[in-house]
Structure formats: C-alpha cells, structure tokens
C-alpha cells in the first residue's frame, strides 16, 4: 500500500542572524510558518530504493543525488521503496523545498516501513530546516535549527512570488556584512493579519540585503508586492529568492496574484494561506 505526505512550503516571516559558531554554522532566530502549497511525496513498496521525479518544477533535479534519498537512507539504510516526488515549488528558492521534501519523505517512509521517525541529531545532519519541516507547525526556530518552540499564528492570506532566479544559500551568507545581530523580539499575542503585520514590521530578514545585491530581481519582486492594494507587509523568505506579501483577505491576495502574473508572466506566483 502506497503512503503519501505533503511537503508544505516553509516561509521565514522574519529571520535574524545572531552569530556564527566556530564550525561555521550560523546561528539564527526565525519565525516560521507553513503555506498550503507544496510538493507531494508518494512512497510505494519496492525491493530497492529509487526516486522518480514529476511535476512542473522537477527539471534540473537529480534522481540519484537528492536530499529525499539521503533522508530515506538515514531512516533505514537497508529498506527499499519507490519514491515519487511531484515537484511544484521552485528549487533553491528560500521556502524550504528540499528540506520539506526530505521531511515528507521521512513521514511517508515511517508509515510505509512501520519504523519510528528519526532523532533530532539525525535530522540536523540532513539540514537545518528539516526539523521544523518535520513538525510542520508554526514555530520560532533558533540555534542552528535544533531549538523549535511552537508559536500560535493567525491564518492569513499571502502571495508568494519568485522572479525565477535560484540564489545559492552559501553565497548569500558569504555576502553578509554583519553576522551578530539581535534576536527576534518575543512575539506578542497575534490574533489577526493586522497584528502579525505590525509585529513583522518591527523585525527583519538579515539575509535580504545580501540576497538583493546578488539577485536584484528580488528587490523588484518586493516592490511589486508592496505596491499591491491591501498588502500589509512584503519581505523575502529565507535566503531568497521567493518573497511573500501579507494581505488583508483571500480576495485581496487572489486579485494581487492575478495582477502580478499578468505583468510578470515569467515569475512563479501563487496566492495561498499561512497558518
């Protein structure tokens, strides 16, 4: 019997770089939410392990050197499965696509193989975003990704927009001018989109300036989102290039996405919900 898991896009609503360890890992303090768009993982019984790629964003991905296969082997090196990754999120886009796919793979294979989910140490070996993606819940993520504190956020409407450029995360971190910054202000009770936007206006994404320098199209995307009617705040997610705009209502987000798609048909754009 095949098992399935949905890999929801991870959105860094705010991301502060608070330091750097001696081993080179950066310390982060980030408010993370998950969108109702993503990739689909299907795992089917098979004598050996294999990965098959489908979907509109699968071009360029490797079916032999992929985080999905690393996650599967880490969960159990001897078991087999036919894994299908239906890829809809842009690659290298700052919304945790690879980490979300790995986390969804772990969920699907845990069910297929009847084995427990892995330890936190193993998850960090796959990537800093994998633990929070495995939880799939809004959270404050600190340290190198190992400190996860659940946070209650309101359900809000957003537009995600990516100008079609892949921004390598190591390149963005290398371009940082400052690596020791204050952490997040503790989030107050956030009951609606207006309260969340007001809080986000006082916080930052410390990677945004560096990413905009590397890929100026990000600044264009941010400006286009912010110019839309009823956009409360616009910011880059993660290390880019995907940006989000927080809107007052689903109708406002849907209308903004349609206008942006008409004026920028080459961009990846979707209206969705965070929660």
Cβ distance 72 to 41 under 8 Å? no
- The CA–CA distances, whole Å, from 251 to 35, 159, 166, 200, 265 equal 17, 11, 29, 22, 20
57 given a catalytic annotation: no
Q: Where are the alpha helices (DSSP H) in the chain?
A: 67-75, 97-113, 120-126, 130-135, 169-174, 193-200, 208-214, 217-226, 250-263
CA-CA distances (angstroms) from residue 141 to 63, 96, 146, 176, 219? Answer: 30, 13, 7, 20, 25
Long-range CB contact pairs, 225-230, < 8 A, 24+: 225/159, 225/161, 225/256, 225/260, 228/159, 228/252, 228/256, 228/259, 228/260, 229/255, 229/256, 230/256
Choose, from 29, 39, 86, 129, the residue flagged as catalytic.
129
Identify whether 101 is a catalytic site residue: no
**Of 4, 10, 23, 185, which residue is the catalytic one?**
10
Active site residues: 10, 129
């Amino acid at each position: 019997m095949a098992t399935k898991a949905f890999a929801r896009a991870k959105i860094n609503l705010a991301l502060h770089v608070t330091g750097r360890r001696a081993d080179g890992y950066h310390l982060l303090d980030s408010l993370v939410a998950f969108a109702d768009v993503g990739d689909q993982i299907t795992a089917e019984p098979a004598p050996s392990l294999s990965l098959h790629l489908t979907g509109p964003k699968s071009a360029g991905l490797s079916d032999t050197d992929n985080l999905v296969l690393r996650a599967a082997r880490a969960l159990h090196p001897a078991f087999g499965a036919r894994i299908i990754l239906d890829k809809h999120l842009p690659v290298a886009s700052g919304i945790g696509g690879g980490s979300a796919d790995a986390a969804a793979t772990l969920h699907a294979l845990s069910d297929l193989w009847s084995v427990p989910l892995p330890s936190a140490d193993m998850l960090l070996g796959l990537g800093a975003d994998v633990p929070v993606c495995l939880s799939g819940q809004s959270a404050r993520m600190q340290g190198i990704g190992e400190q996860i504190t659940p946070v209650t956020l309101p359900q809000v409407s957003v537009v995600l927009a990516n100008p079609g450029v892949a921004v390598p995360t190591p390149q963005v971190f290398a371009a940082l001018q400052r690596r020791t910054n204050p952490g997040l202000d503790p989030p107050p009770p956030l009951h609606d989109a207006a309260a969340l936007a007001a809080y986000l206006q006082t916080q930052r994404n410390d990677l945004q300036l560096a990413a905009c320098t590397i890929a100026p199209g990000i600044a264009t995307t941010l400006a286009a989102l912010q110019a839309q009617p009823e956009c409360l705040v616009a910011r880059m997610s993660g290390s880019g290039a995907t940006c989000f705009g927080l809107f007052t209502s689903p109708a406002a987000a849907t209308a903004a996405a349609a206008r942006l798609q008409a004026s920028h048909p080459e961009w990846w754009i979707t209206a969705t919900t965070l929660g």
